[in-house]
Amino acid sequence: MMEQFIEIKAANPDSLLFYRMGDFYELFFDDAEAASRALGIVLTKRGKHQGHDIPMCGVPVHAADDYLQKLIGLGFRVAVCEQIEDPAEAKKRGSKSVVKRDVVRLVTPGTITEEKLLAPSESSFLMALGRVKGGADNTYALAWIELSTGIFRVAETSADNLLADIFRVDPRELIIAEPVFYDEELKPVFDLVGRVASPQPPSLFDSASAPARIARFFEVATPDSFGTFSRAELSAISGIVAYVEKTQKAERPPLSRPEREQSGSTLFIDPATRANLELLRTMGGSRDGSLFKAIDRTVTGAGARMLADRLMSPLTDPKTINQRFDSIAFFLSERRLSESLRACLKGVADMPRALTRLALNRGSPRDLGALRSGFEAALALRTLFTDVIAPAEVTAALEAISALPIRFADHLTAALGDELPLLKRDGGFVRSGYHAELDEMRALRDESRRVIAGMERDLIEETGIRSLKIRHNNVLGYYIEVTANHQAIMMGSDEAKGRFIHRQTMANAMRFTTTELAEMETKIANAAERALSIELGVFDVLVAESVGQAQVIRSGAAALAVLDVSAALAVLALAEAWCRPVVDASLAFEIVGGRHPVVEQALRRAAANEFVANDCDLSPEDGAKAGAIWLLTGPNMGGKSTFLRQNALIAILAQMGSYVPAKSASIGVVDRLFSRVGASDDLARGRSTFMVEMVETAAILNQAGERALVILDEIGRGTATFDGLSIAWAAVEYLHEKNRCRAIFATHFHEMTALAGKLERLHNVTMRVKEWEGDVVFLHEVGKGAADRSYGVQVARLAGLPDAVVQRAKDVLHQLEAGETSGKADRLVDDLPLFSAVVKKEAPAPAKNDALGGALAALNLDEMTPRQAQEALYRLKEMLGKG
């Protein structure tokens, strides 16, 4: 057995080997030690190898999914090794023969299909990178699939956009040819991708043999019918197809044919911007607090995944965007229809994932039930939309739903029972009345006593022997027993002799059987096995029909998801008072009463103050051929970062086809979005906070064009004041003169406000504040003009710095602003007293009214009623007036 294990393990060195032994998957040697630590299970030992104990641990087969989920989450790959031979066959080769085993699948982060291992609302993409060398330049392409739903897409990319395109898809696993993976020029990209990236043999990505491999996988003569693909795209497609064949072994998932994404069809958002804006997850990795969590009102898993896909890939085509707006407007106008639709969709299971499990021979009766529930919802929806004039997107979805195979849906309804077991081997999932022999076998299995009693009544009536009994024992099985004095009736005539077969003579009884009773005995003995066999046969037929209709079922399921997303966005727009934006091909960017969707909802949950809405207008002024730039000044805590982010989020929401949190919005399509907000470092790569800031700023200035939207916050703050001011100053000039893009540039360098007089498209705006009795009140309002100070000391006081530190800071700030020290540190030391001296010279606390203090100290606040507290306040006020 260990020889067999070592041989199979040698063929799968990069995976933990789940080796099937009876009801357990066992792991040995290093695999056992790694799994024991990762899963927290007991490490034991069994036998010896080369004189040493063999480490061993195991997990029950019935609970394997739970353990797989944890291992995959930790980045492990698992090879599942099953018995592929009946133990009885192995024994024929000798009593010590080992049952044949082999790996039936490789479980990797990008190829999981089990319901337990997949979050319903999250996609699990597997991505492949293809590269073709051509002279001085290389061409790149990415192909990605969602194995559990069959999605298959491909797009060309470039070395500069590679990281951004990978992050846009957010794959669970990225496979790369080994020479590409170890290319020094691409190392920074794969370092940022992290353990998601996995090197594979280069033969998987061979572009020359790719067409033949692709054609063989999809069982077509040539892949040319899918469209025209570049060599890099063919390399990526080949890599992903080969990897699926490698991991799924003999099974073939029902993947869609590769769908090409046109270059520039989606809004380019660089990785830093995606992280800063927290689209799918917060910086801490949680979905709570993300934009997706704030906008998700879908009622199906497929709908939630489509919503996330739209959020990560906003469009750049105004026509398609406006078609999505039309769908939302339709459901807003048809409230009752929208409610009925959502109620109908709530009962829909995940059809695409169920279909994939069935195709991979991992399905269950409940997966067939998922298809049935989808068909039932589709039929109900067709009734809902009768005589309704719907917009283009909704109409297209309804057409796809109408194309669902109704005959197959009827077949599922007729074949499947109401209550379906988790496993097909449990049986009981075929509806009574569907299969005559199955009903008979179930009757024999479940009602054998009633069947035998019926035969007994028939025999009594036939022979007239009232004492006749049909009995059973382990030796004779079923037999007919009569008393000895009825022998003549049972054996007297030739007819009786031919019918009743003598089995045994007792002292006072005789036992017989009949051909019918013997056949019935055989049927009863085999009924349960035969019933299950029939049900499994029905299951296989239904699965074959499902897979045969895979393409049309997937299209119908996608149409249901479209309706779910449109209706959900309508619910969101109504509940949150969002407006339909105007999206066109202009350079406009005018937001009236814009709000941050996540912050606004958080304030509402906390029952805090209402969110303060703000306008933003970066549209070109009369005659200008480029958008405006806003230079935003104001204090920390004043709301600058929120204002910056909300405008970027509004652009994303609009171009994904959603209404937006504003009173009105007019947006000319943005082709590239850059957001540099917040501070972070990259210590693993030797980059300080300032270095990261400069790298990200450089990427923006090198890539932004006139259709870009750029959000920059506090550029230059990580270095000396004059250095930082110089960098920020030059960056704004470059944005204005070279990039010519729409931008908001937030800064504490108030000297930069002078640029508004020099740069015609630059406008000064500020976060408004009020000062009240030495404190600062943040209004969170954006207005025209420039701030003359940053109120940093006041913010420090609000943060809880000791009073002595705050007072010292005020003194230093006063002399710096007065210009008395000319900015020289040595002059500060000479002109200002040491901090310790300031602390010692603090003015004594003012004298207190002793009587008032005594009265206050005497109050027992925990035991006072509201009335008593009010009376005490009056007394204290009176004492204060007298004192």
Ramachandran bin of 244, using left for φ above 0, alpha for ψ from -120 to 50, beta for the remaining angles: alpha
Q: How far apart are CA 12 and CA 79, in angstroms?
A: 7
Tokens 């947006």 appear where? Answer: 667
More confident: 133 or 509: 509
Residue 283 marked in a binding site: no
What value does the mean pLDDT take over residues 275-304?
92
Given a cut of 80, is residue 499 above it in pLDDT?
yes
pLDDT at 687: 57
Given a cut of 70, is residue 534 above it in pLDDT?
yes
735: DSSP letter: I
Given a cut of 80, is residue 715 above it in pLDDT?
yes
Which range of 383-387, 420-424, 459-463, 665-669 scores highest in mean pLDDT? It is: 665-669
Given a cut of 80, is residue 883 above it in pLDDT?
no
Query: Is the CATH number of domain 296-405+549-575 1.20.1560.10?
Result: no
What value does the mean pLDDT take over residues 529-538?
92
> Which tokens in the block code for residue 82?
């099953």
Instruction: Provide, rounded to the nearest whole percent, the portion of the chain with pLDDT above 70.
Output: 93
> Strands 52-60 and 78-83: what pairing?
unpaired
Asked whether 630 and 615 are in contact (CB, 8 A), the reply is: no
Residue 464 marked in a binding site: no
Q: pLDDT category, 492, cuts 50, 70, 90? A: confident
66: DSSP letter: H
Given a cut of 70, is residue 136 above it in pLDDT?
no
CA 828 to chain centre: 56
Q: pLDDT category, 850, cuts 50, 70, 90? A: low
The full set of domain ranges for the chain reads 2-107, 119-263, 296-405+549-575, 577-795, 801-840, 850-882
Q: How many CB atoms neighbour CB 499 within 10 A? A: 16
Given a cut of 80, is residue 137 above it in pLDDT?
no
CATH code for the domain defined by 119-263: 3.30.420.110
Given a cut of 80, is residue 686 above it in pLDDT?
no
pLDDT digit string (tens) for 230-244? 999 999 999 999 999
Given a cut of 70, is residue 847 above it in pLDDT?
no
Given a cut of 90, is residue 3 above it in pLDDT?
no
What value does the mean pLDDT take over residues 500-521?
90
Query: Is the CATH number of domain 577-795 3.40.190.10?
Result: no
Residue 640 marked in a binding site: yes
Q: How far apart are CA 96 and CA 1, in angstroms?
A: 10
Residue 639 marked in a binding site: yes
What value does the mean pLDDT take over residues 61-90?
86
Write down the mean pLDDT value for the chain: 87
pLDDT digit string (tens) for 179-231? 999 999 898 889 888 889 999 999 999 989 999 999 999 988 888 888 889 99
Q: How far apart are CA 137 and CA 127, in angstroms?
A: 23
Asked whether 665 and 591 are in contact (CB, 8 A), the reply is: yes
Residue 636 marked in a binding site: yes
Ramachandran bin of 42, using left for φ above 0, alpha for ψ from -120 to 50, beta for the remaining angles: beta
Cα angle 393, 394, 396; round to 5:
65
The alpha-carbon radius of gyration of the chain (Å, integer) is 38
> Strands 173-177 and 197-200: what pairing?
parallel
Q: How far apart are CA 219 and CA 215, in angstroms?
A: 6
Asked whether 595 and 356 are in contact (CB, 8 A), the reply is: no
Residue 657 marked in a binding site: no
More confident: 354 or 872: 354
Report domain 2-107's class. alpha beta
Residue 881 marked in a binding site: no
What lies within 8 Å, CB to CB, of 677 at 6+ separation is 276, 641, 644, 645, 711, 712, 713
pLDDT digit string (tens) for 320-375? 999 999 999 999 999 999 999 999 999 788 999 999 999 998 899 999 999 999 99
Q: pLDDT category, 128, cuts 50, 70, 90? A: very high
What value does the mean pLDDT take over residues 780-806?
77
First to last CA, the chain: 97
pLDDT at 195: 85
What lies within 8 Å, CB to CB, of 96 at 6+ separation is none
Residue 548 marked in a binding site: no
Ramachandran bin of 491, using left for φ above 0, alpha for ψ from -120 to 50, beta for the remaining angles: alpha
Asked whether 172 and 127 are in contact (CB, 8 A), the reply is: no
What value does the mean pLDDT take over residues 387-404?
92
Asked whether 54 and 45 are in contact (CB, 8 A), the reply is: yes
More confident: 577 or 805: 577
